[in-house]
Each structure stands twice: as structure tokens, then as C-alpha cells.
Structure 1
Amino acid sequence: MTKLLGKLADLQLKISPPRFARDPLSRERLSLDAPRFLDAPAVVVAAPAGYGKTSLLAQWRRECLARGTIVAWYSAGPRDDPEQVLHGVAQSFREAALRPTFGHALAQTGDLEAFSALLAEIEGTALDSVLIIDDAEALPAASKDALGYILRNLPANLRLFVGARSLDGFQFDDLADYGQCETVETSDLAFELDETFDLFRQKLAGRFDADSAAQLHHMTLGWPLGLQLALSAQMRDNAPLAAAHLQPEPGSKLHEHLVALLLAKLNERDNQLLSDISILDDFTVELCAAVSGEADVEERLQAIIRTTPVVQLTDQSDWMRLHALARSALLRRFEAWPAARQRDAHLKAARWLEANGLDYKAARHAFAAGETDWALDLAERSAYHTLMTQGGGGQLLDWAGVLPDEELDKRPRLLLTEAWSLALSDRHTEAGALVERILTRSEVGDALRCECDLILGGAAVFADDPDLFARLHDPWATDPPLADPLLLRVHANRSAYAALLDGEPALARLRQQRAPVFEAGWQSRYLSGWSDFIIGLSYFWEGQVRLTERIIRPALLQSEADLGRRDPFSAMLAAVLATAVWESDRPDEAQLLLADRLDVLERRGLPEALMLGFRTLSRVARAKGDEPHALELLGALDAIGTHRGLPRMTIVSLCEQIRMHAQANRVHTCQDLLNRLENKLEGEDIPQGPLWQRSIAVQVELARGLAAIAASDWRAARQPLERANTIARAVKQERLVVESAALLSLVLRESGENARSLAQEAIELADLYGLRRVFSDVHPSLTDWVASLRDTPVQHPAPASGQAAAEATPPGTGAAVANRSTVLTPREWDVLEHLSRGLSNKEIARSLDVHGETVKWHVKNLFSKLDADSRKQVVSRARLMGLLG
């Protein structure tokens, strides 16, 4: 009797679902309403411990119950033979459906006929039902076969959800191929970065810190158990969340605990295998076997993947990598081994990598093994091409930088590679010395001189010296003496960037379109990414943030997959994209994009990306009410500018601080900052080149205007805002055109002048470009006025239609009416009509009751839109297009 009661109690535990967390984080992509799960008769969730497999099944149970579905639960065990599974499932369904007689007629066996009878009885109930079997990996082979039978014979009213740590012994592949079974794997269950953010925001509220959450996400690779442990530790300590508190540094309790959990399932032999390969950034089964010398590597790696998160699959099907936390611990163990054993492992890795055409990776291991000549030979063959097609110059500098100069001088190709690496980094000033060494060689020709100028031009961009960049680029602007298609693509990128600096974003895109085309493949992605960066930047230059996002987002995803999230190029793409989504009024996404990336931008980011990143995060912080942090970020931008010798960063920081304080009408603070700005502009370290001066001109004029607005000195504000508008229009920076025009309209209104049409046009342009933040970023008075104008928009006459149109429209004017709203703005139309009567700008201004500069602005617009060079030609072209009768 006691034994029977024990079996009944054990069965009751098996059919009892686990308690569901009170406030779980809902992940929409894993909801049963997600498209991938909607029509799937069966779903198998397969992942190692700590990935929330059971929690997901419990979440699905709740979702099904909310729909009125019958849900039976069964937790499997190693002693569950088919007969026990049969009657356990029957008992679970009996209780879930409140049908006490269900399954009583089932045979006391576990053969397939009994399972057929079970499925038939479920079908006969005509109830929508779900069967959940958890821990299915523990089942003996016969029970796994029975489960497979259920899966292949599901009645129409039954869905099956299976949870398992591994799929050993199951044959589900054919069902997945035919759409009968959906599989949820480790990569699906791992938290994505935005989900980690949501989790930390939900749990920590005001103590949430984006950088810290991103760092932990990077360290754990989204491992749910690791995230939860760190979060619990933080909540227990109740300290302000910051990187220093959260980052699981080696030796910390949190770090050791996470590593212990990762490695808990590994035996000593597997630990030794993984320690052998911890020197590899990524590996295949064959490379792992070559380095470790083990024969059964494939089976052991597959077992490790199924049961632990230690080995991670990559986007490349045959390649894997170690979890970052586990690798750091395993690498420390490797480094404690005798030097001879370490050297042997590096030599084996280098030989295999060289034999498989991966010379650049092989060179690093040859160098680590002390084989300097071999390493340099490998690097000379591969490093240049790798750098140009995949980036990663910092890796080259890590080990090549310690080589004696005489070794590098023997290998000019390697010397050239190092010059490129230095130019595109925070050590760009060192590139010039290497270029001098290259040019002292006797065999220098035009092609090499052109490449050296490309190197120095890259260094000039990183040094924020656009005028030097232009001087280096212009002699080779057309017909460069280059044969290498990689260099021709670099040259095309530089030509496009030169056009952008000249204020011609459309020309920049045209030059990119005419660049040499590579064959599709991973080797072309890095340079194509730079092309996308410049195209995206050109759209952002024009204020077209939607197009910016359309270009930059896929480029960023590709860069993160190829180079990593914290690669400098990925961080620069993220800075541009974050600014675009911020302008589209998505502050949380902007913050997510820049999380744990500012330090990368600080060290190795292009000045433009560095400025965009810090300025955007500062604006996000202020919008969220954290003005101290916003000022802290601007102070950091100033300090970085001083440290890296980038005075534009200091100028931008001061202008942005004036903007912030002007919004709060802090008159004296604005004046103090403006005095500092004017003194800085007079400093000896300020470049005087026209391109550099133009890069700050609009921001400086806007700052002067905002400081005057803060003091309600409307007359003083007018001229700098007019200058800002004129400069922005000259270089086609439409976002700044909108901002300066809006501020100018505010000044005109406060001065008692008619400003409605100017403000309305700024509103129309902002809507056209998707600039949803532009007005709220400038001044609260402007925000209020724009809101009132939106509530009472200017009424434009609508074109008539049908017979009414024919009667209402005089002959010859129909085309003008039709084109009125699609070609020209209402104010441009008014100006055009006055031009057709031969009126001067002053006369038009008096007639329309607007400022003379406003008329000049619209006339320039007409010149551009109608491709005209004179007022007379504007009128002539307008008549040809049917805009005038």
C-alpha cells in the first residue's frame, strides 16, 4: 500500500505544472501568437540548462488556458517507461479536462496501440487541447519512440509542446522539414539586447543603466540564467546600477559564480579539451581536433552544445566559438600550462589554419609560438587583404606593433598594412612616419604615392581636418593611377566623402553608384559597409532620417555579425542610426543602439560619429529628465576633444550646452557659455581652413541666436539665425535649415512681424523628412507655437475635380493648379507669381509682409527646383512646366 501511495504521489508531481513567475517579462517573439507558432501542430523547445525552457512552456500553458484550451502537463523522468508515460498523460488530461472517466479503458500496456487509443479518445472529446511534456531528454529510448509516435499522429484538436535539454534519441527532423514541427533552439531563447534592456528597466526602474546592462548582455551572450543571477545580485545589494557594480570582472563573486554554472556539466576531460581550444577565436570540429589531438571531438562537442551554453554556434554553419565567460576561465587554465605545451597548441593551430587558407589567423598563432619569421611571412601574404576587406586593424597592431622596425622595412607590404591600420585609429598621427619610410624607397611610383595619400587622407579624416583631406584627395580625384579594385573602391568612398564635405550629398551618392562593383560575398562586405555609411550619412546630412535608417540599419546588422557589436565600425554605424531614430522620436531605441559603445567611439570613432553619439545620448538624457547626465555627457565630449586634439568636439559641446540652458531661459549661464565659445573660436588651436570653419558655422550661429533668445533680445537673435539658415541652405543641411527657419520664425513673431508662413514651411519640411524631434529639441516656446499652428493649419485651395474643375479653371491653368501642391510649397508659389510680374525681392517682401531674407530663401528654392540660373529663367521654366499661365 505504501509503495502504491508513493507511486501516486510521484505521478501527481509529474502532472503538476510549475509555478509561473508573477511578473515575467513578456517576449512577443516567443508568444504563441507569433507567426512561427500560430499553425504549428507541435513545438519542440531544445536548449541547455539556464535558458528558460520550462519557463517558456509555463508561459505557453497560461496563454492556452486564457483561450479556454485544455492543457495537460507531464514532467518526464529517466524511469518513465512507455506504460507510465501513457497513464501519466491520461491522468493529466483527466484532471485538466475535469473528466474523471477519461482513459479508464486504456490497456495496461505501453505499446503503440494503447497510444493510438489515447489519441483517439482525446480526439473524441472534441476539445481544443494541448499536451506539454517537459524534460523529455530524460526519457528512456522506448518512451522517446512513443513520444515520436504521438508527434506523428496528433489529432486535429491536439497540439504538443515538448521541452528537452537535448534531442538525442528523437527523430524530429523530417517533421520540421514538412512544417509539422517548429523547433525553438538556444539562440531563440537567449535574450536579445532590447529584451535585456526591458528586463532591467522593469526590475531596477530608476537605477537602470544602459551601459551596464549592455556590458552584462555582452558578457553572458544573453544567457537568461546569467542575466537573472546578476540582476538578483544587484537587487539584493540595492546599490545604484553602474558598470563597476554589475560587470562580472574576473575574480569577482558574480563572475566566478557564472563561470561555475557554465562549466558545471563538464567533466575533466571536456575541460581539458576546451582549454586546448580556448586560444582560438572560433573553430570547427576539424580545427579543434587538430589542436587537441583528440579523436572523438565531434561527438563531445555536440554533447557539450546540447547540455551547456559553453560552446556557441555562429552564423557560419561549420564554425563555433566559446562563451566569453567560459573562455576567459579556460584561457587562464591554458596559460598555467607549461610553455612547451602552450607553444605546441599554437603551432598546431597555425599549421591547420595555414593549410586551410586562413593565413592571417595562422600568423597570430605562429607569432604566439615564437615563430616570428613564419608569422611575418604569413602576415605579409594575408594581412593587407584582410585589413582592406574585413577591417580589424587593431588586431594587427596588437602584435605587429612590437616588431623591430628593421623587420617591417624588409616587408613593404606589411609596412603598408600597418600604415593603414594606424591611419584609421586613434593613433592616426603615427601613420605619417610610416608613410615617410615607405616613400623613401627607390621603387616608388604614382600608384604607391596615390595609396600613401589615401592613407594620409584617412588619417586626416580621423584627425578632423577636412581641408587637409581635400588637399590630399584633389590631385588624384579623377583617373587615379590605381589597379587594385580594393583601392579603387576606397578611392570611390573618399570621392563621395569629399563631395559631402563640399555640401553636395546627392553628388556623394552618385559617386558611390559609379564605384567599382565587387562580386557578392563576405570579402566585399566591409568596403560595401563603408559605402553604406557614407550614403547613410549623406541622407542624414539632408535631414532625410527615414532614408538614413533604411540604409544604415542593414549595414549595422551585417557589421555586427561580421565584426562584433563593439567593433569601431559597428559603433560608428550605430551612432548615425541612433541619431536618425532619435530624430524620429524613438529615444529608447537610440539609447539601446549606443549602449556600451561610447568608449569605442571615444577611442577609435570618426569625429563625426563621435560627435553624433555623445550629442544624441545627451539629448536623450535631457528628454528623460536627467539633465545632470546630459551635461556630464557633453562635458565628456569636451574632454575627449581636448585629449584627441579635436577642437570641433569642444565647440559642439559648448553649443549644445547653450542650447540646453536656453531652453530653461538661464540667461547668465548662456552668456557665460557664449563667452567661452567666442574665446575658444579665437584660440590658436582652431583650424582656419574653409571646410573646417564651415563644419561649425551653423552650430555657432544657432548658439548665438539661442543665447539671445534666452535673454529675450529678439533683435540680437535675428542676424545669427539668418546667417545659420543661409549657411545650412548653401550646404544642403536640411535639418539645420528647418531648425534655423523655425527659430527665425519665432524671433520674427516676437518682433511683431508676420512669421506664420515661414513657420508653416518649416513644419511641412520637418514632416516631409520625418524630423519629429526637431522643434522640441530647440526651444519650448517654439514647440508650443508649432503645436498651435498644427491645430490651425494654413488652408490651401484644393484643386477642383471633374466637371466642377473644368468650369472653375480657366483654360491653360489646369496644369498649374495640378502641380501647385506637388512641385512647389504655397509660399514658393506666391513668390513665383510675384516674380512673373517682374517685382524685386524688396517689393515681394512688402507685398507678402515677410522679411527680405525670407524672400531670398524662397527664390533660391525656386532656382534649385526649376534648375534655373536667373530670375528670368525661373519664370520661363515655370511656364514651360505649366506652373504659370
Structure 2
Amino acid sequence: MPDVVHLPSDLLLRVTPPRAARELLARAPGASGGADPLAAAVVLVQAPAGFGKTSLLAQWRLDCIARGAAVAWLSSQGIGSSQRLLQALALSVRQGAGRPTFGHVLLEGLVPPGLEGFTAWLVEVAQAAFELVLMVDEADRLPDGLREDLAYLVRNAPPNLRCVIASRPDVDLGLADLVVYGQCQVIGAAQLRFTLEETLQLAQRRLGTRFHRDRCARLHEQMEGWPLGIQMALALAAGGQPLDFNGPAAGAGGLHATLMGQLLGKLSPQDLDFVTRTSLLQHLHPSLCEALLPGEQAGERLERLARDTPVFVAGELQGWYRLHSLAREVVREGFDALPAEGRSALHRRASTWLAAQGLLEVAARQSLAAGEPDKAYDLAERSLYDTMLAQGRQSAVMEWLAQVPIAELHRRPRLMLALAWSLAISERHDEARRIVDALLAGAAGDEPLQCECALILAGAALFADDPDRFAALHDPWADRPPLHAPRLLQVHANRSALRALLAGDPALARLRQQAAPRQDAAHLDRWGEVIIALSYAWEGQPLMVEQLLAPCLATADNDLGRRSRFAAMVAATLAASRWELGRADSAAALLADRLDVLERSGLPEAVLLGFRTLARIAVAAGQEQQALDLLGALQAVGRARALARLELASLSEQLRLHARHYRAATCRELLQAMEALHASLMAAGEPPGPLWQQGVQGWLLLARAYAAIAAREWRAASAWLAEAEALAAQRRQGRERLEAMALHAWALDRCGERTLPLVQEVQELAQAAGLARLFEDAHPDLAAWMRSLAGSGPQHESAAAPMPTAAPASALPRAAASAALTPKERRVLELLARSLSNKEIALALQVGEETVKWHLKNLFAKLDAGTRKQVVDRARILGLLSG
């Protein structure tokens, strides 16, 4: 091995990769920011501090080694000359590829630094018979001249060299043209933010039994996916502090103070003053900042802070930025401490700029804060109607309801309509009706207004769980609605599709929805997607629901907020489908920190799906008491909101749960409670209509069947199940029909009848629909019986069969398929890690001891080790050995 004694000793530290922490969140190469370091020639990771760039590269390094590539690591800190960079590059390949002779002319200074030296390094890499990944961390610490040298390496890289470079976003590495031509993939802060699923996975690993899904989801939302903030919060929580920003942890030295130090502590006084004075708005644009603070180069300051710090987050629209929610809570206190005259001036400037850009609702808020109520109400009247219909920002409309005096409200009919729309699709139906009555009092002969008011009240009927009133309000205007506004016509088309679904015709609902007019109204389009998804859910097709609602929920979360009413309802529907597909963790994550939104004001069907899905997840996890608590809460919500159908659904699900354990007495009591509640409703002065009755009739039939199953009265159960199957088939309810068919076949089998053909049909239909949880949710003994019949009789290839179980991971050491070692050397290393002698290794590999000694000699040289233990230890440090 060539003599390298003249090399600076710190270069070894520069080329030694960091250890990937065991508790580090695993982000697969294809999922971590959407990039694969082996798929792109160049990957550029650019983000502010605290976004996990080094951790991501450390994990990618292990991934690349495991996939057979050699990885050369280089940390740029302290490399200030071309000669040192060249030596570090040569040494990094020696270390990462296990090539002790690589670059000896470069390390001994026989090639002059500069382009000639870097060209020699590239030539030697090109001649090497292995794939190499060069990972350069902290490239922003390189001087400008060395960044040009690095760009030269990247531009002239041979086919067997891939480059991954991490740096701050404010550094120009001279690779912009490669990005434009698609030869360089850029990973930014947006891709490096944790998803909710990643946050929950990390929290569960760190907190163990103290893990609470809702609190961790709240933490994720407050941190906005910021990796450093989330990990710091979890580290403090693991030490005993609560995940609470308003409790004891908010004090000095607590969670809140620690995070604020990371967010704001490194800002200069001028930057902190800028953030304070612009905190009157959550969303900022450089030209808006120039209007707020003229003559202070505020736009450039905003862009610099957005690049260099996590204080500002890139918005959904190009050029816009959003102040981090935690930072805004703190700096707003400083803004409130400013002189009143200064605050009013800032509000007026903001209102003027926003109104000129057409952002009327936000401008109205600023005018109100500036002490100009008349201007604020005028702007609100011009904007809130479209804000509600086109954008679905119900919370914004509801906030104005609390601020506009009654007298002003009655002077502004368009504002009244906006508020009526908002109140109708909430739990405040009576208030919506009063506003509609006031509007209709002077609307004699105004058919368009009457039709719109009918649409409003029909929406209120849906949220009141009164499908018959919805039909009565919709049907008179069904064929030729006297509406002229395109958005109202789209609302009417959405309601027509929903009317067909309530009548039990999901295919007609989709046909009407597809024929609906399309306008520039994202919220109405989302409602249309939800209705189509509900039609597929009605038919028991969770795969189709997943395809429709996953992108719909992503846009709703971005536009309206994760805890908005609409997003929570979409999440409940999507979670129910993912549960049916067997994706329990994903379903639970979707509902995290959303259940309270649903129970307070969600659509009754969404409330039912949310609670029922979480209860079934709890049952599958063996947490029966938690499931019963959730179902009890669902029953309480039904009573509090006068939604009797939710009470019946809760009792039905409780009965199903107890029937799983054949608790016949408890099931009889629950069935009696269901029938008593149903009888009292039917005997009331205004009993529910036929559409409502059809919706609960299937639950009653299944409840009677489950009570009979719990008592092992199989003939009685068979009779009830036959009725339930016929009703579900009539109403085209696919999942309910398959559940009844499966239970019916099982009950008939208990009676000694042959049911194998029926079982095979149900299995094939369930598999085709993707209903992975159908049999287990119906009854565990039914699922076991289905599995026992999976191989009985002639079956098609698609017939359901028990899922294969994954083989347990071996605890024995395994060598990664890295180019640094030959296959024989990897095998010798594995056996050496098991403390085998040379003779034992020779016997295991069926070779001679001299051959083993030869491979060991190569391992000692490649890993720069002096003992067998050092070989194993260094292999583990370099990621060449695991287990």
C-alpha cells in the first residue's frame, strides 16, 4: 500500500461517513423526497438547516451499499484548497470501495492540482470495474473556486459514477443547466418534510407505550413536517415532557422555548424585526412585503429568509411564502406590542395591496383590523359568496358571522346567502333555516332565489340525516332548475347524483355526476369526486374509492387545512376504504386528530365511517374495551346531535362485536335496545320517511342474525341473513350483500348443508373487489372456516387463499452486496463475524485453508485492519455487514 504519511490526518475524518442512528426514520430511496440515488446521474439535496440532509445521505449510503454500489463519502468542512479536495476524493474512494491502491499518484502529489488532477481522478474512476456513488455533504462550505471544481467533476462524470450533493439552498453550485435538461434531480425542503405517516411511525418507535396518535398528529401539524422540530419534540417527550405547547412544557427551557430557539434564535435583530412587522399576514409575497415596508428591500429579505431558515415555508402558489405557525404565535405578540398607529398603517397597506390583487376576503380582514368596518363589510360581501361555493373555505365564512352586526347582515343579501350556505353544511341547521326564511320573505316570484334556497335547505337536511326531506326539497327542481350561475348548476348536478345514490342506484349517480358542468371551482369538483367515491363505496369497491379520494384529500388538506370539516369527512371515507383493503396503519393515520371535528359537525355518514373504522381497528389489535368506548362515543354523538341513525349504528356494531365471542345474553339486550329505539321513532308524530327506513332496515336484519349466531341458533340466523342478502342486492350494496352471503353460507354449513359453490363465489367476488377485511370483520370463526375451505374442491386460481406469512429475519450477520468486496470475501466476512476459525471457514466454504487466508489478507488490506475483530468492526461501521 502506498505511503500516505504526508497526508493531513484530518482528511481521514472528512472521508469517514457518519453512523446512521438506529432510531433514524427509514426513508426508502424511492420514497425519500421521491429520489433514488442510483436512478439519477446527479441528485442535489438543498434545504435549510434542520431538514435532515446529512441523515438522508447517510441512509442513502447504506441503501446504495446494499444494492451493490461502492460509496465514496466526503464532508466538505475544512477543505479549503484544490490539493486537499483532490486528496480527499482519492482517499474517499479508497475507503468506500476497498481499493487500497486507488489514486496513489494523486495522494502523493505526483499530479498537479486543478483540472488536470480532477481529470486524472475521473479517468481512474472510469477505469475501475465497479459502480461508484460519490456523496458530498455540506457542499456549501466549499469556497467558490472548489465549487467550480466540483461542478467540473459532476459534468464530466463517467457512466459508472453517480453524484449526490447536499448543501444549503442559497448556494449556487453551477448545476442549474443540468436541472433544466433533466440531468440533475433536485430534492428540496418540501420533499424532506416528514409526512404524517412518517411522524407517527417515528413517534411510536420513540415513545413506546406513551404514544398517543392524536397528540402526535397535532405535533406534526404544528411543526408542519419540520424534521428537526419533530425529532426534538419527541426527544423531550421521551424524557418525560408532554407534547403540549400550552402546558408545562411551554415554559422556559421547555419544548416551546427550545423550538423557538431553533426557529428564531439565530435571526439578526433586523430579520426578527422584519418577521415581527410582517406577521400580520400568514401568507407573504415579495411585492407584498415591499408594499408593507417600502424602501427596506423587504422582498429580497423575505426570499433570503425563506432559503436560509425554516421560519418561512414555500406556499402552494409560485412566489408565495407562509410564516411557520409556531413562529407566528411568538412574533404576533411582538406585533401586538407595536404602537397602534403603526399597526393600523401596516393593515391599511396590506388591505390596499391585497384588494388590488383580487384577494378580497383577506383584504377585508385587514380593513377590519385597520378600523375601517364599512370597507371591510363591502369587501366581505363581494368575496365571501365565491369563497364559500368555489373554495369551500367554510371556516372563513363562519368567522365573519361572528363579526358582522345583524343590521349589516340584513342589508347585504349576498353576504346572507354565503352565511346560509356555510351554516347549512354544519350542525347549525336552525340558524341556516332562519336566514333562508328572511331571504324568502321578500322573494315572491324570484324562482332562481327560491331554487337556491332549496339547495341550501337540502344541504342542511343531509347534515341533519333526513334523506326524505332532502328528496322533497330537491325533486321539484330536479329537471329544469331556474338557475343561471354556472356554479349553482354544478351544485345542483352534484345533488342530483346524490339523489340517485340515496335511491339505491350508484351507477346512475356516477352517470349524472359525469354529465355535470365543470367550472373553475376546485371545491365543487372535490364534492363531485366525493359523491362518485361514495357510489363506489356503496357498491363495495374500496380500490376505486382509494383512487378517487387519495388525491382529493391531498388537495383538501392543502387548501382547507387538515382539520377542516370537508377534509375530515373525506379522510373518514378514505380511511374506511383503506381498512377494507387491509391497510390498518394508514387508516388510523388518516383519522388521527380528526375525530373531534367529525363528531362536532361532520356529515352523519362520515361520522359513522370514522368511528366504526377506528373501532374495528381496535378490535383487530385486541383492544376490545377501546372499541366499546369508541362505539359508546358514537352513540353519544347520535343523541347529542339528534341523529338516531348513529345510535342504531352504534348498537348494531356493539352487537356484532359481542357476537364474535358468542355472548348471547348481551346480544339479546342490544337487539332489544335497537328494536325499542326503532319502534319509538316509527311511533313518533313525524316518523322517518321511507329512504331513512331503508337505510336502517339492513342493520336490523343483520343484528337479528348476529344475535342468533351468538346463541348458535343457525336456522334462525340463516333466515335473517337470507332477507338481509336480498335487501342488499335490491339496493345494490355490494359489501353488505357479500357479508350476508358469507354468513349465510356459514350458517347453512352449521346446519349440515352443502355450501362450497357459494363459498367459492363469495371468495372470488371479495378478492376481485379488494375486500381484504370482509370475513374477519364479519366473524373470526367465519374467516377461519373460509381459510379451511380455501383448498377444498375445484377452485379457480383467483379464489381467496390464506396470505403467506413473511419469513422471520435472520439474526445472523449478513454482508451487503457491495462492489468493495468480492462475493467470496463477503462470505468469508459473514463467517468471520460468527467467530469461526480459518479451518471452520474452509470447511463451510469447501475450500482449502490457504484460500481462506488469502481472502482474509485481502479483507485486512481493504478494511485497513490489524486483527480479525477490527475487520468485523470496520465492516459494520462502513455498512458492509449487518445483523
- Structure 2: which amino acid aligns with 1:768? A
Paired residue type of 1:74: L
Question: For residues 259-291 of structure 1, what are the alpha-carbon distances to aligned partners after superposition, in whole Å with 9 as ceiling and x for unaligned?
Answer: 221223311211122222223232211112222
Aligned-partner Cα distance in 2 for 1:125–1:29: 25
Query: Could you say if the C-alpha distance between residues 792 and 573 of structure 1 is closer, same or farther in structure 2, counting changes exceeding 3 Å?
Result: same
How has the CA–CA distance of structure 1 residues 525 and 161 changed in structure 2, closer, same or farther, with 3 Å as cutoff? same
Which piece of structure 1 moves more, 461-470 or 39-48? 39-48
Deviation, 1:538, is 0.8
Instruction: Tell me the equivalent position of 1:650.
Output: 647
In 2, are the aligned partners of 1:687 and 1:693 still within 8 Å (CA)?
Answer: no
Could you say what secondary structure the match of 1:17 adopts? coil
- What residue is the counterpart of 2:183 in the other structure? 180
Q: Distance in 1 between matches of 2:308 and 2:635?
A: 49
Residues 185, 549 of structure 1: alpha-carbon distance in 2 compared, 3 angstrom cutoff? same
Is 2:123 the counterpart of 1:120? yes
- Is the Cα–Cα contact under 8 Å of residues 212 and 246 in structure 1 kept in the other structure? no
What is the rounded CA distance, in whole Å, between the counterparts of 2:141 and 2:213 in structure 1? Answer: 40
Amino acid at match of 2:338: W
* Aligned-partner residue type, residue 382 of structure 2: R
1:421-454 Cα offsets, whole Å, 9 max, x none, are 1111122221001011111225660110111111
- Out of 96, 100, 103, the residue aligned to residue 98 of structure 1 is 100
Given the superposition, is the C-alpha separation of residues 637 and 294 from structure 1 closer, same or farther in structure 2, using an over 3 Å criterion? Answer: farther
State the 1:323 CA deviation.
1.8
Question: Any idea what SS the aligned residue of 2:774 has?
Answer: coil
Distance 2:797 2:226 in 1: 60
What residue is the counterpart of 2:397 in the other structure?
396
Shift in alpha-carbon separation, 1:104–1:611, aligned structure 2, 3 A? closer
How far off is 1:94 after superposition? 4.7
Within the alignment, does 1:665 sit opposite 2:668 as a pair?
no
- 1:517 pairs with 2:518: yes
Determine the structure 2 residue equivalent to 1:819: none
Q: Which moved more, 1:347-356 or 1:677-686?
A: 677-686
1:449 aligns with 2:480: no
Q: Deviation of residue 31 (structure 1)? A: 7.2
Distance apart, 1:706 and its partner CA: 0.6
Q: Secondary structure of 1:791's match?
A: coil
Equivalent position of 1:600 in the other structure: 597
CA contact (8 A) 1:543 1:735 kept: yes
* Structure 1 residues 446-595: aligned runs within 5 Å: 446-518=447-519, 523-595=520-592
Native 8 Å contact 2:361 2:383 kept in 1:
yes
Contact preservation (8 Å) 2:377, 2:404: no
Gaps of 5+ in 2: 799-883
Q: Which residue of 2 aligns with 1:63?
A: 63
CA distance in 2, matches of 1:33, 1:252: 33
Tell me by how many angstroms 1:737 deviates. Answer: 1.2
In structure 1, give the amino acid aligned to 2:449.
L
Task: Assess if the C-alpha contact under 8 Å between 1:572 and 1:609 holds in 2.
Answer: yes
Aligned to 2:283: 282
1:111 matched to 2:108? The reply is no
Q: Report the CA distance between 1:412 and its aligned residue.
A: 0.5
Deviations 1:359-387 (A, max 9, x none): 12211221222211111111111211121
Amino acid at match of 1:116: T
Residue pairs, 1:594-743, within 5 angstroms = 594-683=591-680, 687-743=687-743
**How far does residue 108 in structure 1 lie from its aligned partner after superposition?**
8.2
Which amino acid in 2 is paired with 1:259? Answer: M
The superposition leaves residues 662-721 of structure 1 with CA deviations (integer Å, 9 ceiling, x where unpaired) of 101122222222232223223357942211122111112211211121012234434433
C-alpha separation in 2, matches of 1:410 and 1:250: 48
Aligned to 1:425: 426
2:326 partner letter: L
372-381 or 307-316, which deviates more = 307-316
Higher relative contact order (Cα pairs below 8 Å, separated by 6+ residues): 2
- Aligned partners of 1:568 and 1:601 also within 8 Å: yes
Task: Establish whether residue 337 from structure 1 lines up as the match of residue 359 from structure 2.
Answer: no
Query: Hey, what's the Cα distance between the residues in 2 that align with 1:791 and 1:508?
Result: 39
1:234 and 1:246 in contact (8 A); partners too: no
What's the CA shift string for 1:446-485, capped at 9, x where partnerless?
1101111111111111111111111111111110111111
Could you tell me which residue of structure 1 aligns to residue 877 of structure 2? none
User: Structure 2: which amino acid aligns with 1:308?
Assistant: T
- CA–CA distance in structure 2, aligned partners of residues 122 and 504 of structure 1: 66
Structure 1 residue aligned with 2:307:
306
The equivalent of 1:267 in structure 2 is: 268
2:150 to 147, 171, 194: 147
Identical aligned residues as a percent: 44
Using structure 2 for the length normalisation, give the TM-score: 0.84
Give the gaps of 5 or more residues in structure 1. Answer: 799-885
Taking structure 1 as reference, are residues 11 and 585 closer, same or farther at Cα in structure 2, changes over 3 Å only? Answer: closer
RMSD, matched Cα: 2.9
After TM superposition, the structure 1 = structure 2 runs for residues 154-173 of structure 1, keeping only pairs within 5 Å, are 154-173=157-176
Contact 2:219 2:243 in 1 (8 A): no
Other structure's SS at 2:100 match: coil
Deviations 1:332-391 (A, max 9, x none): 322232332222222221111100111122112212222111111111112111211100
Asked if 1 retains the 8 angstrom alpha-carbon contact of 2:37 and 2:64, the reply is no
Deviations 1:790-822 (A, max 9, x none): 321456999xxxxxxxxxxxxxxxxxxxxxxxx
Deviation larger for 684-693 or 220-229: 684-693
Paired position in structure 1 for 2:378: 377
Residue range with higher mean Cα deviation, 78-87 or 666-675: 78-87
Partner amino acid, structure 1, of 2:589: L
Supply the AA of the counterpart residue of 1:176.
V
Structure-1 separation of matches of 2:247 and 2:743: 43
Contact map agreement 1:83 1:108 (CA 8 A) in 2: no
The 8 Å contact of residues 134 and 162 in structure 2, kept in 1 or not, is answered as yes
Task: Tell me the secondary structure at the aligned position of residue 85 of structure 2.
Answer: helix
Q: 1:123 to 1:585 in 2, by over 3 A?
A: closer
Q: Distance in 2 between matches of 1:452 and 1:668?
A: 50
Code of the residue aligned with 1:562 in structure 2: it is D
2:42 is aligned to 42
Is 2:224 the partner of 1:221? Answer: yes
CA separation of 1:296 and 1:215: change in aligned 2, threshold 3 A: same
Aligned residues of 2:285 and 2:299 also touching (Cα < 8 A): no
How many aligned residue pairs are there?
Answer: 789
Maintained 8 Å contact 2:389/2:524? yes
How far off is 1:292 after superposition?
Answer: 3.2
Q: Is the 8 A contact 1:312 1:323 kept in 2?
A: yes
Q: Say if 1:103 and 1:547 are closer, same or farther in 2 by CA, change over 3 A.
A: same
SS at match of 1:278: coil
**Structure 1 stretch displaced more, 245-254 or 778-787:** 245-254
Q: Is the 8 A contact 1:37 1:182 kept in 2?
A: no
2:90 and 2:796 map into 1 onto residues whose CA distance is: 72
- Tell me the equivalent position of 2:20: 20
Which amino acid letter does the alignment assign opposite residue 612 of structure 1?
Answer: L
Q: Which amino acid in 2 is paired with 1:708? A: A
Alpha-carbon distance between aligned partners in 2 of 1:723 and 1:252, rounded to the nearest angstrom: 65
1:870 counterpart residue number: none
CA distance in 2: counterparts of 1:292 and 1:42, whole angstroms: 40
The partner residue of 1:197 within 193, 196, 200 is 200
Q: Measured at CA, do residues 367 and 633 of structure 1 come closer, stay the same or move farther in structure 2, by a change above 3 Å?
A: same
The structural deviation recorded for 1:626 is: 1.5
Mean Cα deviation higher: 9-18 or 211-220? 9-18
Counterpart AA for 2:776: S
Deviations 1:276-331 (A, max 9, x none): 22232322111122223353233322322222211111232122112222222222
> Which segment drifts farther, 341-350 or 46-55?
341-350
Partner SS state of residue 343, structure 1: helix
Matched-pair contact (CA < 8 Å) for 2:557–2:567: yes
**Cα 1:793/1:325, change in 2 over 3 Å:** farther
Residue aligning to 2:349: 348
Structure 1's 250 and 734: CA in aligned 2 closer, same or farther, altered over 3 A?
Answer: farther
Change beyond 3 A, Cα 1:410–1:769: same
The secondary structure found in structure 1 opposite 2:403 is coil
Letter in 1 for 2:296: A
User: Counterpart of 2:185 in 1: which secondary structure?
Assistant: strand
- Kept in 1, the 8 Å contact 2:612–2:631? The answer is yes
- 1:148–1:540 distance in 2 versus 1, CA, 3 Å: same
